[in-house]
Amino acid sequence: MTFEVPAVDITAYVQDGTVEERAAVARAIDEACRTVGFIQILGHGIARETQEGLASAMDDFFALPLEQKKEYRTPPGINRGYAPPKSESLSLSLGVESASRMNDFFEAFNIGASTADYPEAAAAGVIDESDYSPNTWPDRVPTFEPRVQAYFVEAKRVAETLTTIFADALGLPAGFFDAFTTHSLDVLRMNNYALPPGTVDLDGDLTGMGEHTDYGIVTVLWADQVAGLQVLGSDGAWHDVQPADDALLVNLGDLTGRWTNDRWMSTLHRVKPPIVDGTIQRRRSAAFFHDGDVEAVIATLPSCVDEAHPNLYDPVTVGEHIAAKLAGSRAGVRNAAGRETARVLSAGT
Ligand SMILES: O=C(O)CCC(=O)C(=O)O
Ligand SMILES: [Fe+2]
């Protein structure tokens, strides 16, 4: 079976498209979300230089010696700053313990929305620093912050455009998702998959990032064109995915799966970077997670429930769902087994 990540040009929503042009985009998004859960987005409008600024900022930071990078660690309960190789375990976010020795060798740097970005919600006591933590910026790379912030703003714009499309694609009132994302818990995780030659047993089972679903509403994923990202298809097999030139990958998170009663897919994925001449080929990615307001309640959309599709999910707040997931991936607490766990366990290798 051939596996393809559909490409959709969203220009009609980024600029002022006609009603017909927008309807065609919304139909293509619905189809991709129902069948794959991953999409390649073209016409997103993020300038090449903004993407290159992100990539060069990552290169400059990750090139620092490990000991210097570790100066920017934060406690496991705070989803910000530097995470050294093997400090996070994505399979634990699913409740699956991995037997592999070199699982999750990625290193990452996380930034995200803080209380200062949403002064009204902070003043009203709706949000606080436990979820909306201040950023830790690496002052050893002085221009890291402006380069990464410039990309963050653009990725957020694309994520918001996507939720506008989602409302149309699901036949919901225009702007349906706006009420859930006024102070969205947004995080950009910059990932670096690289290990110095000779530090690992390359015959072992090497996984850059263990299998997982993303937790929130939608993820906008910038990835370089080095292979390694694999997506679990509905055929139960893992498939390699590489973005086309200038495409951004987009995938749905669990909250959208819950909202749509799994009509749309929160697709399992993992990263296994290639090994060339006995060395891991370096790979970079940056995932912008658009997770919604921490106190928003996500309950199954009535339009996605009928006799053939009984409701699969109880309502949950964004904060409860994300906290349980992060407790698994960052603090090593195995998440309660759920529907996604069963899918991982039934997939081959
Ligand atoms: O590196 C990639 O392409 C995927 C990263 C990812 O899935 C994540 O950060 O959640
Ligand atoms: Fe992911």
Give pLDDT tens digits for 228-262.
999 999 899 999 999 999 999 999 999 999 999 99
Ligand 1 atom showing the smallest separation from residue 208 Cα: 1
Structure tokens at 257: 């799966």
From the CA atom positions of the chain, what is the Rg in Å? 19
Q: For residue 1, is it within any domain?
A: no
Task: Tell me the CATH number at 247.
Answer: 2.60.120.330
Q: For residue 206, is it within any domain?
A: yes
Q: State which amino acid sits at residue 132.
A: Y
Which pLDDT belongs to residue 168?
98
> Minimal CA–CA distance to 227: which of 202, 252, 193?
193
Q: For residue 92, is it within any domain?
A: yes
Which pLDDT belongs to residue 89?
60
Q: How far is CA 296 from CA 167, 181, 249, in A?
A: 17, 8, 26
Cα 89 to Cα 274: distance, rounded to the nearest angstrom:
20
Q: For residue 319, is it within any domain?
A: yes
The answer to whether the CB of 1 falls within 8 A of the CB of 233 is: yes
Angle at CA 346, nearest 5°, toward 341 and 348?
120
Instruction: Write the residue with the smallest CA distance to atom 9 of ligand 1.
Output: 287
CA of 298 to the centre of ligand 1 (A): 24
Q: For residue 142, is it within any domain?
A: yes
- Looking from the CA of 78 toward its CB, the CA atoms found within 13 Å total 18
Distance separating the N- and C-terminal Cα atoms of the chain? 17
Q: What is the pTM of this model?
A: 0.93
CA of 137 to the centre of ligand 2 (A): 23
Q: For residue 64, is it within any domain?
A: yes
> Minimal CA–CA distance to 35: which of 269, 273, 252, 271?
252
Q: For residue 153, is it within any domain?
A: yes
Ligand 1 atom showing the smallest separation from residue 191 Cα: 1
Low-confidence spans in the chain with pLDDT less than 50: 98-100, 337
Cα 158 to Cα 16: distance, rounded to the nearest angstrom:
15
229 lines ligand 1 (CB under 6 A): yes
Report phi then psi at 79, rounded to 5.
Answer: -85, 60
Which pLDDT belongs to residue 14?
98
The answer to whether the CB of 193 falls within 8 A of the CB of 301 is: no
83 lines ligand 1 (CB under 6 A): no
Cα 60 to Cα 188: distance, rounded to the nearest angstrom:
17
209 lines ligand 1 (CB under 6 A): yes
* Residue 249 neighbours by CB under 8 Å, 6+ apart: 5, 38, 39, 40, 41, 220, 221, 222, 223, 229, 241, 243
Q: Which ligand lies nearest to the CA atom of residue 271 in the structure? A: 1
108 lines ligand 1 (CB under 6 A): no
Q: Which ligand lies nearest to the CA atom of residue 267 in the structure? A: 2
Q: How far is CA 332 from the centre of its chain?
A: 19
Angle at CA 84, nearest 5°, toward 344 and 349?
20
Angle at CA 301, nearest 5°, toward 297 and 303?
165
Can you give the residue range of the structural domain that contains 257? 7-346
Q: Which ligand lies nearest to the CA atom of residue 221 in the structure? A: 1
Q: For residue 2, is it within any domain?
A: no
Which pLDDT belongs to residue 96?
53
> Considering its fold, how many domains does the chain have in total?
1
250 lines ligand 1 (CB under 6 A): no
Which pLDDT belongs to residue 276?
80
Q: Which ligand lies nearest to the CA atom of residue 191 in the structure? A: 1
Q: Given ligand 1 and candidates 110, 271, 281, which is best to mutate, with the most ligand atoms within 8 Å of its CB?
A: 271
